[in-house]
Structure 1
Amino acid sequence: MVKHMIFAGIDIGSITAKAALIKNGKLIGTLVIPTGYNPVTAGEKVFSDLLAQTKINPKDVTAIVATGYGRNSVAFADKAMTEIICHGVGAHFLNPKIRGIIDVGGQDSKAIALDTSGQVENFAMNDKCAAGTGRFLEVMAKALEVELNELGNMSQSSNAPSKISSICTVFAESEVISMIAGQQKREDIIAGIHESAAARVGSLATKVKLQSPVIMTGGVAKNKGMVKALESRLGIEILVGDFPQENGAIGAAVLASRLKR
């Protein structure tokens, strides 16, 4: 890694845009903002806002790598790389012991197996269906008239999670509406929603045979109920780091430091 140089990673997701800066091999700043309807504008804004926050001149940034579904919209990046690779590198950078990643974002979910050097050994991805993603939880929260960030805490008080049989988000929403009409406890419905989502995501983890220690990334990692449901489903402890949403951007910044200039 080149010393005394600053490298940036930008991750444009469907819901949020993230940026990270690395200097001398150390993380010096991260930022998360809503992506909005324009990924081009989001990429420019999250980068410029982070530079302003860290008081760094754009000219001092040596290289930039973009990732996420909107990575090709970041025209000022030196290179675009897949989020699978970036998540692996980011997790290894933050904790070299990590061997597995469960990433649950707004529109997709992934399970990634890593080797001892942080290289991706295997992965599975669900990007065709909203079930088990942040969007799934968002739809359910709306049906229950609960704030999305309240789901995790509310589900903790459930002793009898409701059974949601539908995999499809649309049908699962209909089930939830019927449960509300049947006056089932809101906490039990939420716990059932987490178990349903965990079953979908857990199948990805099982498919790639994730080994401990496993870390969860993505915005859904902030949902304690979802983490608990996944732990129960897989029978392993799941770690949540300090930068679950920023992990991909951090990995992109590390990869930027490896680019030959």
Structure 2
Amino acid sequence: MYQVGIDIGSSAAKVAVIKDDEVAKTMLLDTGFSSRKVADKIYESLASEGITKDNAKYVATGYGRVSVPYADNVVTEITCHGKGADYLFKENGTVIDIGGQDTKGISLKRGRVMKFIMNDKCSAGTGKFLEVMTGRLGLTLEELSDLAREGNEISISSMCTVFAESEVISLIGKGTPRADIAFGVIESVINKVVALIAQVPADKYFLTGGLCEDDYVRERLELALNAPVKSTPLARYAGAIGAAILAAEE
């Protein structure tokens, strides 16, 4: 039997397929307007490779988990991210998941979730904040990080994404170098994430979600937390991997 985990987030849908305790396949799709449509697209894509309800168990998680009609079970994001991170890192510590609409901190001990914290409904300190800012600066996320490495220290102090965007517009109007603004944008996210994660402190951290392959973000987190921050390209799929692991119980 295949174990399929589907993590439908606000921005991206992630899929992990486990076979014989190994991640055999991953998929990444834009969530788009309809979680149901992306769920149907996922099933059709897997079915084309011979993975169907006849030979697989499915667990759904994430923002759109209730929109997966063929799921054998739905499980909360916290549980799935904890399971996925334990599979990937096999160490005690705190998971930092910077998602599209929220940021989560999950304290793990021997694979169990001991405590977790999530930001409020404000998108500051999330992927949506970075999406807005990169759009305003005409950059990709990778370009933003590359520029930030060259930038000088500058502060973007607004706690709200809308007001922070106004700050950026003002800085652009003043002729502030784009590299300096890029530094300020990422540092703003780092500061908000670190303030949240302070509630679930640890000796080591694990970065999951869409920023897991951004070395600059990981380095800035290490500096701010004064502790190692580990990651891997598969960490983007931590929630889906955790859901797939739980599918074995169905």
Q: Place the TM-score, normalised by the shorter chain, in its bin.
A: over 0.9
* Equivalent residues of 2:102, 2:126 under 8 A apart: yes
Pick from 3, 6, 11 the counterpart of residue 7 of structure 2.
Answer: 11
* Equivalent residues of 2:35, 2:64 under 8 A apart: yes
* Equivalent residues of 2:107, 2:114 under 8 A apart: yes
The residue that corresponds to 1:165 in the other structure is 157
The residue that corresponds to 1:192 in the other structure is 184
Query: Pairwise mapping of residues 172-183 of structure 1 onto structure 2 (< 5 A)?
Result: 172-183=164-175
* Equivalent residues of 2:46, 2:52 under 8 A apart: no
Cα shift at 1:211: 3.2
Length-normalised TM-score, structure 1: 0.91
Q: Per the alignment, in what secondary structure is the counterpart of residue 29 of structure 1?
A: strand
* Equivalent residues of 2:5, 2:241 under 8 A apart: yes
Cα distance between partner residues in 1 of 2:24 and 2:54: 14
Q: Per the alignment, in what secondary structure is the counterpart of residue 46 of structure 1?
A: helix
In structure 1, the gaps of 5 or more residues are none
Pick from 91, 94, 106 the counterpart of residue 112 of structure 1.
Answer: 106
Cα distance between partner residues in 2 of 1:94 and 1:258: 19
Cα distance between partner residues in 2 of 1:103 and 1:57: 29
Query: Pairwise mapping of residues 1-261 of structure 1 onto structure 2 (< 5 A)?
Result: 5-52=1-48, 55-116=49-110, 118-158=111-151, 160-212=152-204, 214-259=205-250
Q: How many correspondences in the alignment? A: 250
* Equivalent residues of 1:151, 1:225 under 8 A apart: no
Cα displacement string for residues 15-61 of structure 1 (whole angstroms, at most 9, x for unaligned residues)? 11111111111110010010110101111212332453xx3331443
Cα displacement string for residues 117-141 of structure 1 (whole angstroms, at most 9, x for unaligned residues)? x110011101411000010001111
Cα displacement string for residues 84-139 of structure 1 (whole angstroms, at most 9, x for unaligned residues)? 110010011122125211000111100110012x1100111014110000100011
* Equivalent residues of 2:85, 2:235 under 8 A apart: no
Cα displacement string for residues 226-252 of structure 1 (whole angstroms, at most 9, x for unaligned residues)? 222222211112112121321100100
Percent of residue pairs identical: 43
Q: Per the alignment, in what secondary structure is the counterpart of residue 236 of structure 2?
A: coil
* Equivalent residues of 2:209, 2:235 under 8 A apart: yes
* Equivalent residues of 1:19, 1:47 under 8 A apart: no
Cα displacement string for residues 154-189 of structure 1 (whole angstroms, at most 9, x for unaligned residues)? 21122x221111111111111111111111111111
* Equivalent residues of 1:108, 1:126 under 8 A apart: yes
* Equivalent residues of 1:21, 1:253 under 8 A apart: yes
Cα shift at 1:190: 0.8
Q: Per the alignment, in what secondary structure is the counterpart of residue 158 of structure 2?
A: coil
Q: Per the alignment, in what secondary structure is the counterpart of residue 150 of structure 1?
A: helix
* Equivalent residues of 1:20, 1:31 under 8 A apart: yes
